[in-house]
């Protein structure tokens, strides 16, 4: 780990220690579709959840590369837990300088003191992916001192562990915004009228990430916690978020865990017909080599983007996400081939890694949007230098 600073090596060591404690519980949690709420006490006590929070508000102020590499290592032990912590990093990192400072300070201090998570709640059954545009159906009505929110969100990752639900809403039309105003309502976990429902625990992958439906039945939100207002039909989409890179790192962690598990199986598997470990055969070595090369290539792109920090460009962020998620899918597929029929059983973790990897394909930016963004940037660059 000589390419990392002392702070970054400490972040990796803490993530490895947590991953080692979480890993023995993952299989049973996955089998039961059980959200690992107990992990959140350990995450808080270890300081892991304070890492992305500013020092001024009780956090550690970790740099983006520290957060990114730690996430990959945590995901090797428990990808679902790492995904929820990645959402916290993404929301808090982007909020700095975007939310009013008193609101940002309040949320960060609360998380530093009490632990728990925070996540965006944007997806609705009729809306589809929020990254493709569209107007939410979750409405806000004026009330004394704030607003009352009514609606339902789906795919709210980590719902049982969240202290704050950053909810996409539509405010009523005004003269300045005749079609209404898009905004985010920051909702406390204990607000009357807020509830969540497990609709995820029997899903294909990441069964333990608490990707639940959230219901808002006239939930009151103070005026000051309505942030990021933008008139519908005006302005572009939000800028790319470099703090989404720690989410991409989760899928790279899944890929490395699958490669490691395949290596362990190959080193220990001695068929009677062969008389030696299958790790000594050429085709197994080639499969392992192929997996590791793909992981290292994706990791290089991810780390390059993370080292740039807030200066990371949208194409670089998109490239890292695309490579990490697709590498996870390819590597986990190859890992099944290494172990053969045993890979389909719960005797090995490979079938779980294979399932978990697929979830990354549907997180923004999805492949077509990521590649389109990268392609437009390449075309623009060539136009700038062509005679």
108 and 150 inside one domain: no
CB atoms within 10 A of CB 176: 8
Claim to verify: residue 88 and residue 183 sit in the same structural domain: no
Looking up tokens 């945590």 gives 74
Give the CA distances from residue 53 to residues 30, 100, 215, in Å, rounded to whole numbers and listed in that order: 30, 16, 28
Task: Give, in degrees to the nearest 5, the angle at Cα 73 between 75 and 104.
Answer: 75
Helix axes 245-268, 282-308, angle to 10 degrees: 160
Q: How many domains does the chain have?
A: 3
CA distances in angstroms from 206 to 23, 81, 158, 278, listed in the order given: 14, 9, 11, 30
58-104, pLDDT tens digit by residue? 999 999 999 999 999 999 999 999 999 999 999 999 999 999 999 99
Residues of the chain where predicted confidence (pLDDT) is lower than 70: 1-2, 128-133, 235-238
Closest by alpha carbon to 357, among 205, 211, 249, 246? Answer: 205
In this prediction, residue 276 carries a pLDDT of 97
Burial class of residue 163 (count of CB atoms within 10 Å of its CB; 0-12, 13-18, 19+): middle
- 237 part of a folded domain: no
Instruction: State the pLDDT at residue 127.
Output: 81
Residues 124 and 213 in one domain: yes
DSSP code string of 287-353: HHHHHHHHHHHHHHHHHHHHHHGGG--HHHHHHHHHHHHHHHHHHHHHHHHHHGGGGGSTTSTHHHH
Q: List the CATH number of the domain containing 258.
A: 1.20.140.10
pLDDT at position 135 is 86
By DSSP bridging, strand 162-171 and strand 181-188 are: antiparallel
* Angle at alpha carbon of residue 154, lines to 129 and 82, rounded to 5°: 85
Phi-psi map region of 97: left, alpha, beta (phi>0 left; psi -120 to 50 alpha): left
CATH number at residue 200: 2.40.110.10
pLDDT in tens, 279-313: 999 999 999 999 999 999 999 999 999 999 999 99
Domain interval for residue 340: 242-379
CA-only gyration radius of the chain, Å: 22
Give the residue from 171, 198, 231 where a domain finishes: 231
Report pLDDT for 2.
52
* Cβ neighbours of 201 (radius 10 Å): 17
Question: Model pTM?
Answer: 0.96
* Token pair listed for 348: 């090995």
- Give yes or no: residues 110 and 133 share one domain: no
- Other CB atoms within 10 Å distance of the CB of residue 152: 17
Length of the chain: 387
């Amino acid at each position: 780990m000589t390419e990392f600073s002392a702070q970054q090596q400490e972040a990796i060591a803490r993530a490895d220690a947590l991953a080692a404690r979480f890993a023995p519980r993952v299989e049973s949690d996955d089998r039961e579709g059980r959200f690992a709420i107990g992990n959140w006490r350990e995450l808080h006590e270890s300081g892991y959840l304070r890492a992305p929070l500013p020092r001024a508000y009780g956090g550690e102020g970790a740099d983006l590369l520290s957060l990114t590499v730690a996430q990959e290592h945590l995901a090797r032990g428990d990808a679902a837990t790492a995904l929820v912590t990645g959402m916290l990093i993404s929301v808090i990192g982007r909020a700095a300088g975007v939310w009013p400072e008193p609101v940002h300070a309040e949320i960060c201090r609360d998380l530093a003191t009490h632990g728990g998570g925070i996540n965006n709640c944007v997806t609705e059954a009729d809306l589809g992916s929020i990254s493709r545009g569209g107007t939410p159906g979750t409405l806000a009505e004026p009330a004394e001192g704030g607003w009352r929110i009514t609606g339902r969100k789906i795919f709210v990752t980590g719902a049982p562990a969240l202290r704050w639900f950053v909810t996409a809403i539509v405010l009523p039309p005004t003269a300045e915004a005749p079609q209404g105003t898009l905004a985010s309502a920051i909702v406390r976990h204990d607000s009357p009228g807020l509830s969540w429902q497990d609709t995820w625990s029997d899903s294909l992958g990441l069964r333990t990430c608490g990707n639940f439906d959230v219901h808002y039945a006239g939930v009151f939100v103070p005026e000051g916690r309505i942030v990021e207002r933008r008139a519908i039909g005006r302005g572009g989409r939000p800028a790319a978020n470099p703090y989404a890179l720690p989410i991409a790192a989760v899928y790279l962690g899944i890929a490395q865990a699958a490669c490691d598990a395949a290596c362990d199986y190959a080193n220990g598997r001695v068929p009677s017909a062969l008389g030696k470990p299958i790790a000594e055969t050429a085709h197994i070595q080639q499969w392992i080599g192929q997996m590791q090369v793909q992981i290292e290539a994706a990791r290089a792109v991810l780390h390059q983007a993370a080292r740039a920090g807030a200066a990371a460009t949208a194409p670089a962020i998109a490239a890292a996400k695309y490579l990490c998620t697709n590498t996870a899918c390819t590597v986990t597929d190859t890992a099944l081939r290494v172990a053969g029929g045993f890979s389909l059983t719960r005797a090995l973790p490979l079938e779980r890694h294979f399932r978990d990897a697929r979830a990354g394909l549907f997180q923004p930016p999805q492949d077509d949007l990521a590649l389109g963004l990268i392609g437009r940037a390449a075309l623009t660059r060539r136009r700038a230098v062509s005679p």
